[in-house]
Amino acid sequence: MKDKLEKTGHKRSFYKTRMLAVIFALIISLFALAAIPVGITYKLSAAKGNNSQSTSLNVTPSN
């Protein structure tokens, strides 16, 4: 690590901050990938819910 610090002139905190930024970006991307199936499921259930509401309006109560 010392050779790398002397070669580039960066401080140790630069590399730690860069590593944390990369890890944070990976975590955010994993959450974004996990949100895709949730969004698809939500849209499908909303579409299914709209269909069931339209059919339930045609049913008349028998009194």
Nearest Cα to Cα of residue 16 among 26, 6, 24: 24
User: What is the DSSP-derived secondary structure letter of residue 43?
Assistant: H
Flag whether 57 is in a domain. no
| HSE (side-chain half, CA atoms, 13 Å) at 9 | 0
Total of domains in the chain: 1
Answer whether residue 62 is part of any domain: no
| Assessment of whether the complete model's pTM goes beyond 0.85 | no
- In a domain, residue 26? The reply is yes
Mean pLDDT of all residues in 38-51: 82
Tell me whether residue 38 is in a domain: yes
Residues 6+ apart with CB under 8 A from 5: 11, 12
Q: What is the pLDDT of residues 24-36, one digit of tens each?
A: 999 999 999 998 8
Q: Is residue 59 part of a domain?
A: no
**Parent domain of 20:** 2-49
- Tokens of residue 17, six digits: 């901050």
